[in-house]
Amino acid sequence: MKKFSPGLILLLLLAACFSLATVLQPRASGWSKRAQADNILKVLLGDGRRLFANQFFIQADVSFHSGYYPSIFDQARAPKDTRHLTAREGESAAEEHERQMNFLGPPRDWIERFGRHFIVTRHTHLHGNQEREILPWLKISAELDPQKVETYTVSAYWLRSMGKVKEAGDFLREGLRNNPESCEILFELGRLHYENYHDPARARNVWELGLRKWSEQAAAGKKPDLLQLDQIAMNLSRLEEKEGNLARALDLLQLARKASPHPEALQGQIDELKRKLAAAPPSAAPKVR
């Protein structure tokens, strides 16, 4: 039998590998599509993964506070909602959060006093683009529980503030695919179009859809969050006012007043808008929507 040189055999094997790869690659992408629908976490953990999702969301909050966070034994003082994650300094949510996070109190004994030299004892928030450090935990949380809406909204808020507008949009759309009825995600998506892409037409469409979803849920007796209605109506009203559609802006402001926790504060804006509307020439047609 004729002998083949090892180099030739190697080349033959390489050619076979290459040919097989070209045949298998299209099939492999099909496998990965299936895997996307039923990812490994879903297969391994089933619905139990939602329990872990909350833990990872909390881990994002811990990271946001650089490790200064109440333990399970301080849970009574732990933050009850996620608004502080997106609140600016001076806002009421931020002040309330400051009170909640004062959980350490004076040390009870010398062990506790001494032990504080080895832990983080100052309440700080990440700043200066360091907020990116919370994103991996939020992403993992969203992978584990795609129905946890605040994961998408909080992530999008920080992605936008870091200038990662495209990533924010992609993540919000992923959230919307998983939660097509979510007014919160639609509100954030509208903000993205209005504030970052400066596209009022698309922002209006998204917010209008959000309003419609909210009304449908209310009609179905699902008791949607009033704060969401307030936020969408307020922002949409500002957009319409800027676009010159004063009548629609007034309608929306009146809708927001119904949902607002402080309706008296909105009355001034409503009166102002009424004055503007009365002063507007009757022939002035509203801008095309």
Report the interface residues with another protein, using CB under 8 A: 63, 66-67, 71, 73, 108-109, 111-112, 114-115, 117-120, 132-133, 135-137, 139, 155, 159, 164, 167, 171
**Quick one: 119 or 288, whose CB is closer to another protein?**
119
CA angle 55, 152, 71 (to 5 degrees): 25
**Quick one: 77 or 238, whose CB is closer to another protein?**
77
Identify the helix (H) or strand (E) that includes residue 262: none
Q: Shortest CA distance to 53 belongs to which of 171, 134, 178, 140?
A: 140
Give least dist CB 186 to another protein, A: 21
Cα(189)–Cα(172) distance, integer angstroms = 6
Q: Which residues of 141-171 are buried (b: 16+ CB within 10 A; e: fewer)?
A: bbbbbbebbbbbbbbbbbbbeeebbeebbeb
Contact 187, 118 (CB under 8 A): no
Cα(45)–Cα(23) distance, integer angstroms = 33
**Quick one: 18 or 114, whose CB is closer to another protein?**
114
Cα(214)–Cα(217) distance, integer angstroms = 5
The Cβ of residue 123 has, within 10 Å, a number of other Cβ atoms equal to 16
Give least dist CB 190 to another protein, A: 21
Give least dist CB 112 to another protein, A: 6
Give least dist CB 8 to another protein, A: 36
Give least dist CB 243 to another protein, A: 32
Give least dist CB 105 to another protein, A: 10
**Taking the C-alpha atoms of 278, 279, 280 and 281 in order, what is their torsion angle to the nearest 10 degrees?**
100
Give least dist CB 231 to another protein, A: 24
Give least dist CB 120 to another protein, A: 5
**Quick one: 66 or 215, whose CB is closer to another protein?**
66
Helix spans in the chain (H): 6-37, 40-45, 49-64, 92-100, 110-115, 135-144, 149-161, 165-178, 183-191, 200-219, 226-243, 246-259, 263-279
Q: Shortest CA distance to 204 belongs to which of 228, 183, 217, 187?
A: 187
Burial of residue 66, with CB atoms counted within 10 A of its CB: 0-12 exposed, 13-18 middle, 19 or more buried: middle
**Quick one: 19 or 129, whose CB is closer to another protein?**
129
**Quick one: 30 or 136, whose CB is closer to another protein?**
136
**Quick one: 153 or 235, whose CB is closer to another protein?**
153
**Quick one: 161 or 267, whose CB is closer to another protein?**
161
